[in-house]
Structure 1
């Protein structure tokens, strides 16, 4: 399993240890530089190749922007047997940068992928800000950009497990996950979606400790985040076991 964190940039060593307890060979690394900004999708290929050479099955697990990467990689690489996408988006988002004009988070073959920009006119109504409103407003403002920016989830031939918290205050995880499920269903592809109404942006798997507090509002509660992790666990056991 290649385990990708989100924009925190953390190396998910503790999560890899938990997954190793299931019998998985799990690896994680900081997969971007200063920010998620024009990251070449080809930059993941070495890590995928090493795992693929050593293991019978190849799985990519990502959280948040790491889940965006995981779904893109699943669509690109037929050798990926399963994608586990936690708090995943359904579109390519703009780079996490204050530079303007805005640009894509990803490139492939040296070309930027189509993306949905952030609405710079959005203003938070909470302190600290809950960015879920910014993402919702951006999807409305740039609705014409959404079709071209959709992640090509219909091209993922492997299993797809989506995990989303109903109280995610960073972005609308459940809405975006349901859009992925609907598009894959229309293509005749099964998808598993595991949710909990009171969980937030980051799931806590059995054996994990909650992530350190962040300046970002993630929503949820420690109890609900852990309960969502327990609901996900049997599906992870099945994926690791094949």
Structure 2
């Protein structure tokens, strides 16, 4: 999770006698703000100013220095407004307040003087620095309390510190497994007024290693029990600080597949958000997945495996990690779906059976699986059934749509493993998906909306 602390109170360093400043005007959580403003003020009219942003990102436990830069021409008022003004040169094009952040690339050399989680912006005119500002990113919102959930390995419960019975969102991460994705998503949701459960359900060993983060969870993505969510609901019902009559699922990638299967079978859910989803259940993987050519399902319900679509040529695709050829998981999945149409029909998730509202978001250039087309399939089936649905499909978006648009997006396709989309397309999609998902959840989990849904049931 990435959050910018309230910036109105951060110190500002002006390096020239003239009153050039970098000013940030934003709500407390910049990463989720609809219209933050970042301006450089006090410049000579029509002056050319170079703006550089730099930060340290922790990758695989080590600090990596990232940087982006762009040149602007100040207006007659001596102001450059990142949300209004397009750069005349630099790492991104077009007016975009997030542009300097998502367009960062790793650079060689020692880590910058700033600590991890701090972005330093420096403005330069005629080769001389005129203003600098540190923007602090932080993982922890002091207004959110987080506690472990002993009943579910690796799970956390997050909620605002203010009193009141809150609607609940259960966050489900993807095929990366472990606790981090679900935990960070739960904390982000809690910062916006929801109670949230970050629920890990799968914990593989890292490549080349045997130890696992959560040994109590499955090591293979095989027949994950969807109806385990009933136990989560029972746990929530025993609490007096949540409204267990207003529960939504927020799933990403395989977590979206999980969420849609659950929505098609569990009548107590109020709403679903499915980011880069699948419209079918796919073959599982791992040491418990079965012999080559047979395979086992990713998910189960009531102790029985669900019908699934087999992959075709997955091992050949993985050869790219050895040879350096591009690895696109989408290809063996599309080959399997094309080769086994009857299996695809049997594995289709009956999204139209869910009566509540649903939001789906997919990328047209997703190289993990074709989430854009599958999101469209889901929306069409639900609209045909008269079910309330929000569909967001981004032609230049890839698989990494679960963000806020402030993190660097330039490295998603840098190695042999491809996730798809353009850096700009992914960043803009992330910002829109997060904004729309929050608005959707606030509408869908409002007390009057759930009363109407209960009446229909």
Query: Do they fold alike, i.e. is TM over 0.5?
Result: yes
User: Structure 2 residue aligned with 1:16, among 177, 186, 197?
Assistant: 186
The equivalent residue for 1:230 is: 431
1:107 partnered with 2:300: yes
Higher relative contact order (CA 8 A, sep 6+): 1
Q: 1:150 to 1:132 in 2, by over 3 A?
A: same
Structure 1 residue matching 2:246: 3-state secondary structure:
coil
Pairs within 5 Å for 1:130-145 = 130-145=328-343
Pairs within 5 Å for 1:60-71 = 60-71=249-260
More helix by share: 1
Question: By how many angstroms is 1:216 displaced?
Answer: 4.1
User: Structure 2 residue aligned with 1:186, among 384, 408, 422?
Assistant: 384
The equivalent residue for 2:269 is: 80
Distance 2:274 2:308 in 1: 19
Distance 1:216 1:129 in 2: 5
Question: By how many angstroms is 1:177 displaced?
Answer: 1.1
1:5 partnered with 2:173: yes
The equivalent residue for 2:361 is: 163
Higher gyration radius (CA): 2
Structure 1 residue matching 2:401: 3-state secondary structure:
coil
Distance 1:142 1:218 in 2: 25
Structure 2 residue matching 1:135: 3-state secondary structure:
helix
Kindly indicate whether the alpha-carbon contact (under 8 Å) linking 1:18 and 1:207 is maintained by their aligned counterparts in 2. no
Distance 1:204 1:235 in 2: 10
Distance 1:5 1:210 in 2: 20
Question: By how many angstroms is 1:18 displaced?
Answer: 1.7
The equivalent residue for 1:119 is: 312
TM-score relative to the length of structure 2: 0.49
Q: 1:19 to 1:40 in 2, by over 3 A?
A: same
Distance 2:170 2:371 in 1: 21
Aligned residues: 242
More deviation, 33-42/98-107? 98-107
Q: 1:210 to 1:16 in 2, by over 3 A?
A: farther
Consecutive unaligned residues of structure 2, counting only runs of 5 or more, are: 1-168, 203-217, 447-457
More strand by share: 2
More deviation, 189-198/49-58? 49-58
TM-score relative to the length of structure 1: 0.89
Distance 1:234 1:103 in 2: 35
Question: Please, what is the CA RMSD of the aligned residues?
Answer: 2.5
